[in-house]
């Protein structure tokens, strides 16, 4: 078991330990008062021997209070006796494209995909070149607000976008949605073993009437079918209109076991009192919806 325990960077709200390497896995630690460690690339990497990893973590100078990890698709049944909670992701089981088209989506979604084609939207695999990055930057800078909150890519320049999105091309396909030769939407389709992930899916708001996102999902399903990948994942399940979009495109709320292991006395107390969750996580749904609506109104007034 190889390791390095140099702390690389300290942020205001997160301590990132990018050089802690155990069995070739990078770990990150988040939090100030309660420090929680996890695998940095947990969407892409399994924890094969958690007991050995936990033993090592207790001996490092990370000073993490809790270690958390989950089981990735298709491993949905509980395997370990650690304290566990369920994480919910949006997963689409893929038999083949025709099965998805005929059995997993409804006529309304099929109609939107046909509408995109009828209006002239063309979805194809794209190269990560300067022309494509300029198109991405144009999409990012269309509006400062998306889904009722500040959009984190707004006002990023060409060089920043190129640098931030070039690091994982070795495991990604890029799908672009074009209208009259202009890039109006795209997906970075990342591969993580037995599933693919819609790592980034976005389109221009002014072209929303052409349903480019539906067309992009259809192309992603087609590619997964071609590559014999059994699942397409649209990250966490969530709520609201985005969850409804996922549901209409065949994604289902899928539960995965997530484990929390205390590494210190503080960690044990935090788990007993359920302090390992953020305030937003523990709020009742009606309060979450209220705060989301309030945030949308505030941004609408700006």
Please give the Cα distance from 152 to 98 (Å, whole number). 36
9: CB partners within 8 A, 6+ apart: 15, 16, 18
In a domain, 13, yes or no: yes
CATH number at residue 223: 3.40.630.30
The answer, yes or no, to whether residue 133 has pLDDT greater than 80, is: yes
pLDDT in tens, 208-264: 999 999 999 999 999 999 999 999 999 999 888 889 999 999 999 999 999 999 999
Q: Report whether 146 contacts 238 (CB < 8 A).
A: no
Instruction: Look at residues 46, 61, 58, 52 and name the one whose alpha carbon lies nearest to residue 4.
Output: 61
Please check whether residues 167 and 182 belong to one and the same domain: yes
Is residue 195 within 8 Å of residue 233, measured between CB atoms? yes
The answer to whether 111 and 117 are in contact (CB under 8 A) is no
Mean predicted confidence (pLDDT) in 17-23:
52
Q: Quote the tokens at residue 80.
A: 């370990």
Same domain, yes or no, for 110 and 249? yes
Contacts of 254 (CB under 8 A, 6+ apart): 73, 76, 88, 89, 90, 91, 237
- Verify that 63 and 148 share a domain, yes or no: no
Closest residue by Cα to residue 176 from 167, 166, 184: 184
Is residue 166 located within the same domain as residue 266? no
Asked if the model's pLDDT at residue 301 lies above 80, the reply is no
Q: Is 2 a member of any domain?
A: no
289 pLDDT band (50/70/90 cuts)?
low
145 and 50 co-located in one domain: no
Which residue range is the domain that position 19 belongs to?
9-76+259-301
194's tokens: 């037995």
Say if residue 243 is in the same domain as residue 95.
yes
Q: Kindly tell me if the per-residue pLDDT of 189 is higher than 50.
A: yes
pLDDT of 63: 82
Beta carbons within 8 Å of 296's beta carbon, 6+ residues apart: 148
Q: Is the pLDDT of residue 150 over 50?
A: yes
**CA 61 to mean position of chain CA atoms:** 29
Domain shared by 225 and 244, yes or no: yes
On whether residue 84 sits in a domain, the answer given is: no
240 and 263 together in one domain: no
Question: What tens digit of pLDDT does each residue of 52-75 get?
Answer: 889 888 887 678 999 999 999 999
Whether 187 and 210 share a structural domain: yes
Residues in the chain: 302
Number of domains in the chain: 2
Residue 82 lies in a domain: no
Structure tokens at 16: 């990132």
pLDDT of residue 2: 39
Q: Which residue has the higher pLDDT, 98 or 149?
A: 98
* Co-location of 24 and 144 in the same domain: no
Please choose, from the candidates 184, 187, 206, the residue with its C-alpha nearest in 3D space to the C-alpha of residue 198: 187
Whether residues 170 and 22 share a domain: the answer is no
pTM of the predicted structure, to 2 decimals: 0.86
| CA 46 – CA 61 distance, rounded (Å) | 23
């Amino acid at each position: 078991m190889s390791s390095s325990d140099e702390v690389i960077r300290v942020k205001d709200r997160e301590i990132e330990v990018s050089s802690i390497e155990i069995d070739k896995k990078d770990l990150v630690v988040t939090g100030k008062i309660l420090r929680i460690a996890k695998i940095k690339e947990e969407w892409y990497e399994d924890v094969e021997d958690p007991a050995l990893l936990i033993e090592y973590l207790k001996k490092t100078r990370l000073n993490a209070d809790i270690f958390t990890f989950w089981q990735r698709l298709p491993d949905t049944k509980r395997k370990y006796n650690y304290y566990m909670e369920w994480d919910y992701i949006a997963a689409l089981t893929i038999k083949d494209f025709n099965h998805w088209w005929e059995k997993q989506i409804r006529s309304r979604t099929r109609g939107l995909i046909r509408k995109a084609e009828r209006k002239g939207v063309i979805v194809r695999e794209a190269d990560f070149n300067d022309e494509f990055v300029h198109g991405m930057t144009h999409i990012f800078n269309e509006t400062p607000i998306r889904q009722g909150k500040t959009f984190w890519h707004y006002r990023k320049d060409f060089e920043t976008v190129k640098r931030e999105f070039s690091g994982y091309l070795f495991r990604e396909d890029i799908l672009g949605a074009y209208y009259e030769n202009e890039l109006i939407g795209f997906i970075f389709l990342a591969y993580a073993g037995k599933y693919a992930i819609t790592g980034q899916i976005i389109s221009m708001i002014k072209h929303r009437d052409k349903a480019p996102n539906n067309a992009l999902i259809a192309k992603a399903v087609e590619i997964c079918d071609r590559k014999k990948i059994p699942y397409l994942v649209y990250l966490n399940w969530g709520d609201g209109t985005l969850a409804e979009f996922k549901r209409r495109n065949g994604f289902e709320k899928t539960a995965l076991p997530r484990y929390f292991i205390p590494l210190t006395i503080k960690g044990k107390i935090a788990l007993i009192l359920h302090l390992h969750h953020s305030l937003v996580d523990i709020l009742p749904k009606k309060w979450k919806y209220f705060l989301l609506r309030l945030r949308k109104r505030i941004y609408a007034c700006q």
